[in-house]
């Protein structure tokens, strides 16, 4: 029986002896009936006081693991007694074993500061209650599922999951399925972007692209620049990373270059995050002049640009302007794309096109994060795209969403009380509305919920305290009839609040039922 005492430990020696003998017994290295050395002898061999061993044996006896035996000194208890000890251990008897009650863990003391920063009251409204049937939601930024070509998709799934084709269910490369990256490279090239399969990383939605960029680029305290208002998912992930977010206001031509230039002359941000086309939430499109100016500043100050481009294919007037990525001649632009606003957000497929060294670093981060994006969904999307079904789907939704946008504008024109105004975007998903003076979006949210209509209050899109008098309405998810009904209800809620005394002051806790994307 070998024991090793460590006098540098805080654990008393008798407890060290008890613990080690207990382990030997439980491991059956000291089998039932085994005769333990006499106390005095063990004490001598360990160089400890005899009382130390006496105390250890006493504890082990109390545990039932050893027992005195006439003529043999002290022996290991029979197997069933040892088993009884184990059973007690597993039956809430830990306090007995430990000699003290087991304290519950105070988990919040274990969390990182990043984790604490995730407590954004809006982002905390988890994506957990899609589609309450009786509610008209203009909150969720989701495509309309009714237009999906499900017959075609069904055929594709049958083909992908055909007997013998188990490779579609296998692990895959971190960077993504090659044929899909090749398709996207061609698709982007057609849009003026110089991309190859090896500079495209498949991500689980563009939200993951933002998270990977954060992992690779942002230390707590780093500066970044973004438009305000902007996509709340980006604000959330950058804030959680502990970044200092410098905000640039928008005008009709997109982010204010003059403000950006002032900021860049004073700070060295890790990157400029922008949604130049059909911006979320404002619907603004950055003018071509501004795009060139933005690139010029990026070059001049050596600042990378992160271009988030989920909406550019959803144009309802003219073809969209050239992306920053397509205008970029000096590899300063990291481009995020996604299928989710065109169709099938539930597949969680987005991509990042970036200069090769950045792409390699993002891939390395992604390997740590989830190994790779689902092989199966990538194979399905590859078939869908290469059969021309994406290109076929886009004109359909452009036409439908345009009608829905116009239906929402008409309804607002018809029902809106004085003081409620809105933008008419040339593409994308959203109308950005300004409430009548004094009316708060959070108060309206409560009143609207009574009337079974929903939206996102404007403050969710602000890094700081702005947007309290703004709301975002998504026009993509519902039919024109439903949109009209929803706007009727919403305008009714606005009117009711306006007719209440002190309407601006009633701020109730909002309840979000749907993903705010």
Residue list 103-132, contact with a copy of itself (CB under 8 A): 103-105, 107-108, 110-115, 118-119, 123-124, 126-131
**Nearest distance from C-beta of residue 509 to a copy of itself, angstroms:** 18
Select from 7, 80, 163, 465 the one that contacts a copy of itself (CB under 8 A).
163
Return d(Cα 275, Cα 282) in angstroms, integer: 10
* Closest CB to a copy of itself among residues 102, 396: 102
Instruction: Please state the φ and ψ torsions of residue 202, each to the nearest 5 degrees.
Output: -75, 135
Residues of span 46-75 touching a copy of itself by CB under 8 A: none
DSSP assignment string, 222-242: -EEEEEES--HHHHHHHHHTT
Residues 6+ apart with CB under 8 A from 453: 135, 136, 137, 138, 486, 489, 490, 493
* Closest CB to a copy of itself among residues 11, 399: 11
Return d(Cα 299, Cα 264) in angstroms, integer: 11
**Nearest distance from C-beta of residue 441 to a copy of itself, angstroms:** 22
Token pair listed for 360: 């390699």
Select from 80, 151, 465, 481 the one that contacts a copy of itself (CB under 8 A).
151
* Closest CB to a copy of itself among residues 204, 459: 204
* Closest CB to a copy of itself among residues 359, 411: 359
Candidate ranges 297-305, 414-422, 430-438, 489-497; the one touching a copy of itself (CB under 8 A): 297-305
**Nearest distance from C-beta of residue 331 to a copy of itself, angstroms:** 6
The CA-to-CA distance between both ends of the chain, in Å, stands at 64
Is residue 90 near a copy of itself by the rule CB under 8 A? yes
**Nearest distance from C-beta of residue 410 to a copy of itself, angstroms:** 27
Is residue 277 near a copy of itself by the rule CB under 8 A? no
Is residue 145 near a copy of itself by the rule CB under 8 A? yes
Nearest to 455 by CA among 465, 445, 447: 445
Q: Using CA of residue 445, residue 447, residue 449, residue 454, what is the dihedral sign?
A: negative
- Site residue total, a copy of itself (CB under 8 A): 139
Is residue 134 near a copy of itself by the rule CB under 8 A? no
Instruction: Please state the φ and ψ torsions of residue 455, each to the nearest 5 degrees.
Output: -160, 180
Residues of span 329-388 touching a copy of itself by CB under 8 A: 329-332, 340, 343-348, 355, 357-358, 361, 363-365, 367-377, 380
Candidate ranges 147-155, 179-187, 391-399, 491-499; the one touching a copy of itself (CB under 8 A): 147-155
Is residue 288 near a copy of itself by the rule CB under 8 A? yes
Return d(Cα 415, Cα 479) in angstroms, integer: 18
Token pair listed for 425: 């975007």
Is residue 240 near a copy of itself by the rule CB under 8 A? yes
**Nearest distance from C-beta of residue 163 to a copy of itself, angstroms:** 5
Supply the angle between the helices 389-415 and 480-499 in degrees, to the nearest 10: 30
Is residue 92 near a copy of itself by the rule CB under 8 A? yes
**Nearest distance from C-beta of residue 349 to a copy of itself, angstroms:** 8
Q: Are 32 and 18 contacting, i.e. CB atoms less than 8 angstroms apart?
A: no
Helices (H), 224-374: 232-240, 257-266, 288-301, 324-327, 356-370
Residue written as token pair 């509305």: 433
Residue written as token pair 């504890």: 59
Residues of span 470-499 touching a copy of itself by CB under 8 A: none
**Nearest distance from C-beta of residue 199 to a copy of itself, angstroms:** 13
């Amino acid at each position: 029986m070998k024991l090793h005492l460590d006098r540098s430990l805080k654990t008393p020696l008798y407890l060290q002896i008890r613990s080690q003998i207990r382990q030997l017994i439980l491991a059956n290295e000291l089998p039932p009936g085994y005769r333990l050395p006499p106390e005095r002898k063990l004490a001598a061999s360990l160089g400890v006081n005899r009382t130390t061993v006496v105390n250890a044996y006493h504890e082990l006896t109390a545990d039932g693991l050893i027992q005195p035996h006439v003529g043999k000194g002290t022996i290991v208890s029979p197997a069933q007694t040892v088993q009884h000890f184990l059973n007690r251990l597993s039956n809430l008897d830990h306090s007995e074993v430990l000699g003290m009650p087991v304290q519950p863990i105070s988990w919040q003391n274990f969390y990182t500061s990043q984790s604490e920063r995730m407590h954004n009251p809006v982002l905390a409204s988890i994506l957990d209650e899609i589609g309450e049937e009786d509610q008209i939601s203009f909150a969720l930024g989701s495509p309309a599922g009714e237009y999906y070509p499900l017959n075609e998709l069904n055929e594709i799934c049958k083909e992908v999951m055909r007997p013998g084709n188990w490779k579609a269910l296998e692990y895959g490369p971190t960077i993504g399925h090659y044929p899909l990256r090749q398709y996207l490279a061609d698709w982007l090239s057609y849009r003026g972007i110089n991309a190859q399969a090896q500079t495209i990383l498949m991500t689980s939605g563009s939200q993951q692209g933002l998270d990977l960029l954060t992992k690779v680029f942002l230390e707590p305290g780093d500066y970044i620049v973004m438009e305000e208002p902007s996509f709340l998912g980006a604000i959330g992930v950058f804030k959680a990373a502990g970044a200092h977010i410098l905000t640039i206001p928008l005008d009709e031509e997109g982010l204010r270059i003059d403000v950006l230039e002032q900021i860049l002359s004073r700070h060295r941000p890790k990157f400029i995050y922008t949604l130049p086309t059909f911006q979320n939430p404002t619907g603004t499109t950055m003018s071509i002049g501004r795009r060139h100016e933005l690139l010029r500043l990026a070059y001049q100050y050596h600042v990378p640009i992160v271009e988030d481009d989920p909406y550019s294919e959803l144009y309802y007037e003219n073809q969209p302007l050239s992306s920053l990525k397509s205008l970029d001649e000096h590899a300063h632009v990291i481009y995020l794309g996604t299928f989710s606003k065109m169709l099938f957000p539930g597949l969680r497929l987005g991509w990042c096109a970036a200069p090769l060294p950045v792409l390699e670093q993002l891939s390395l981060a992604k390997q740590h994060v989830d190994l790779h994006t689902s092989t199966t969904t990538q194979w399905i999307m590859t078939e869908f795209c290469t059969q021309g079904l994406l290109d076929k789907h886009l004109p359909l939704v452009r036409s439908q969403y345009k009608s829905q946008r116009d239906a929402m504008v008409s309804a607002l024109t018809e029902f809106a009380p004085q003081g409620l105004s809105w933008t008419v975007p040339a593409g994308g998903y959203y109308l950005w509305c300004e409430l009548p003076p004094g009316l708060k979006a959070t108060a309206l949210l409560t009143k609207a919920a009574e009337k079974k209509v929903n939206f996102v209050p404007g403050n969710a899109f602000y890094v700081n305290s702005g947007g309290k008098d703004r709301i975002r309405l998504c026009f993509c998810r519902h039919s024109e009839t439903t949109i009209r009904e929803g706007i009727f209800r919403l305008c009714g809620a606005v009117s009711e609040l306006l007719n209440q005394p002190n309407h601006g002051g009633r701020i109730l806790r909002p309840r979000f039922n749907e993903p705010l994307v």
